[in-house]
Amino acid sequence: MGGDQGTGLSPRLASVRDYVSRNLRGKPQPVGPRPPSARAVTRWILTHPDALTEIDRLQLKSVLANCPEPTALAEHVRTFGHMVAHLQGDQLPTWIEAATSTTDLPSLRHFAQHLERDLDAVIAGLTLPWSSGVVEGHVNRIKMLKRQMFGRAGFELLRKRVLLAP
């Protein structure tokens, strides 16, 4: 049961202690900048490049230079955003083909496969100038008000809140 003389440490712990005291104690370890969070990188990728600050643009460029997967993802996201902003739904099948052939990005491939489920409707939504977004927004707001009031009051109060809410 040999240990470090008088300290009660096993020989293994004693050698670890000696190594730490010889090599690590007193030497400050270099601290580099913290890597950006996944949330920050996601925000940078989803923001239009012209709307990014110079610091964000440089940080995104640094992240994309060090890792090929976010570079491919950023390119697909920008292409998709361009299609949405400019109503170019006719390019969607080509985009889906490119996104599903990307083997390193399973989430993107999964998203593209879900778009294929109702391809005609998605293409129409990305091509036609009409949108049911306003109606869907009102339906969502009414459902939220209804959930907030669940079990508290009747239809009359819900009606007044829907009509009077901004």
Q: pLDDT for 58-73, tens place per residue? A: 999 998 898 888 888 9
Residue matched to tokens 């901004």: 166
The candidate with the shortest Cα–Cα distance to 89, out of 53, 134, 128, 57, is 128
Nearest to 39 by CA among 23, 65, 63: 63
Chain segment 108-165, per-residue pLDDT in tens? 999 999 999 999 999 998 999 888 888 988 899 888 888 888 877 788 888 888 888 7
* Tokens, residue 31: 């601290």
Least confident segment among 22-31, 37-46, 89-98: 22-31
What is the pTM for the complete model shown? 0.62
Q: How far is CA 90 from CA 35, 57, 68, 78, 95, in A?
A: 39, 30, 28, 16, 10
The residues, ordered by sequence, that sit 6+ positions from 73 with a Cβ below 8 Å of its Cβ are 45, 105, 108
Q: Whole-angstrom Cα distance, residue 76 to residue 52?
A: 18
Please state the φ and ψ torsions of residue 132, each to the nearest 5 degrees.
Answer: -100, 20
